[in-house]
Amino acid sequence: MNPFEIVLMALQAAALMAVSPLVVGIIRKIKARMQNKVGASVLQPYRDLRKMFRKESAVSENASFLFRLIPYVCLTSMLLLAAMTPFVYTQVIAPYADVIAMVYIFTMFRFAMVLGGLEGGSAFGGMGSSREVMMSVLIEPALLISIMTLSAMTGAGFDLSAISGSINARGAAAICPALLLAGTSFVITMVAENTRVPFDNPDTHLELTMVHEGMLLEYSGRGLAIMEFASMVRLTIFMALLGTLFFPWGTAMAMTAAELSVSLLAITVKMLAIAFGIALLESTVAKMRVFRMPNMLTASFALALMAMVSLYVL
């Protein structure tokens, strides 16, 4: 690994985090256009984050040291994940780029959020946490199995870069029922994990229906900015994983200017397409009833399982 490569890999992790507010801004913009509204600038999330980051924090008098630590735990977990997500270049900087560790880092993020929701001692935080754990119990197995499918399909072990590279190297031949089924399962997982419509409404602050926002309710100022930013990064990481693990074509495997520029173009197109897909989904379906979510998540789980089975049956 030459120094230039290391710099590039570090850059790609930084870029992933840097563009995440933009990704959210683009999704919001597309949604606004679909609603016949002008919509805020795609840069608005950056402005919001800057504003919140500078503001004073109002912390609940019931909160403990954990409450103040949790935003940093969340951001850390996203930093670690960003460092292990192939984005423009297949290789990643993290020496721990292990798909199972990835799932556990997501768990760490979620666990921290859930505890944060319980800190304030109000009914709303607990409500968000309670719904979050219900969803996560069903999300986690689906995520594990869809990743296991990839790992088994490529025979590349648990290394994120290797899996991405292996599918990429096979070209169109890699497209098989297993990949498509696992990809579909992953999409549902992505929507659920990031608490988007139809699982949760990211735009609402309506007290009684919140999941993600409920857990963040007691945060303000800098803590809120960090939590919001971490959530944006989480969405971007999922989108990037979808683009580089399940449909990795175009991602640069070698360190050449040509491949890198193609890859840059490819990832931009992929991210825009996924953003458009999310916006379209959020505009055309309503938020589900809370107790419909398990059905949807079970469907995601079944898809992942079918992917796994199809790998050996077909």
Site for other proteins in 80-119 (CB under 8 A): 80, 95-96, 98, 100-101, 103-105, 107-108, 111, 114-115, 118-119
Stretch of residues binding other proteins (CB under 8 A), selected from 4-12, 41-49, 74-82, 166-174: 74-82
Q: Is 89 helix (H, G, I), strand (E, B) or coil?
A: strand
- d(CA 5, CA 74) in angstroms, rounded, equals 28
The reply on whether position 75 binds other proteins by CB under 8 A is yes
One residue of 271, 282, 300, 303 binding other proteins per CB under 8 A: 282
- d(CA 234, CA 23) in angstroms, rounded, equals 11
Stretch of residues binding other proteins (CB under 8 A), selected from 51-59, 172-180, 235-243, 247-255: 51-59
Nearest CB to other proteins, comparing residues 109 and 259: 109
| Helices assigned H by DSSP within 84-199 | 99-119, 123-154, 160-170, 177-193
One residue of 2, 4, 61, 257 binding other proteins per CB under 8 A: 61
Minimum Å gap between C-beta 269 and other proteins is 25
Stretch of residues binding other proteins (CB under 8 A), selected from 13-21, 49-57, 231-239, 247-255: 49-57
Minimum Å gap between C-beta 218 and other proteins is 7
Stretch of residues binding other proteins (CB under 8 A), selected from 232-240, 241-249, 255-263, 286-294: 286-294
Minimum Å gap between C-beta 132 and other proteins is 9
The reply on whether position 283 binds other proteins by CB under 8 A is yes
Q: Whose CA is closest to 297, among 198, 146, 192? A: 192
Minimum Å gap between C-beta 66 and other proteins is 7
One residue of 12, 151, 244, 300 binding other proteins per CB under 8 A: 151
The reply on whether position 59 binds other proteins by CB under 8 A is yes
Minimum Å gap between C-beta 223 and other proteins is 9
Stretch of residues binding other proteins (CB under 8 A), selected from 2-10, 13-21, 152-160, 264-272: 152-160
- Say if CB 132 and CB 215 are below 8 A apart: yes
- Say if CB 182 and CB 246 are below 8 A apart: yes
- d(CA 247, CA 274) in angstroms, rounded, equals 11
- Say if CB 196 and CB 135 are below 8 A apart: no
By CB under 8 A, the residues from 237 to 276 that bind other proteins are none
One residue of 1, 206, 257, 314 binding other proteins per CB under 8 A: 206
Q: Is 98 helix (H, G, I), strand (E, B) or coil?
A: strand
- d(CA 173, CA 167) in angstroms, rounded, equals 9
Site map 156..175 versus other proteins, x via CB under 8 A = -xxx----------------
Neighbours of 56 (CB within 10 A): 8
One residue of 189, 201, 251, 300 binding other proteins per CB under 8 A: 201
**Chain Cα centroid distance, residue 240:** 8
* Number of residues that make up the chain: 314
**Beta-ladder partners of 252:** 89
- Say if CB 199 and CB 310 are below 8 A apart: no
The reply on whether position 50 binds other proteins by CB under 8 A is no
The reply on whether position 176 binds other proteins by CB under 8 A is no
- Say if CB 307 and CB 181 are below 8 A apart: yes
- d(CA 48, CA 29) in angstroms, rounded, equals 15
Q: Whose CA is closest to 98, among 139, 147, 136? A: 147
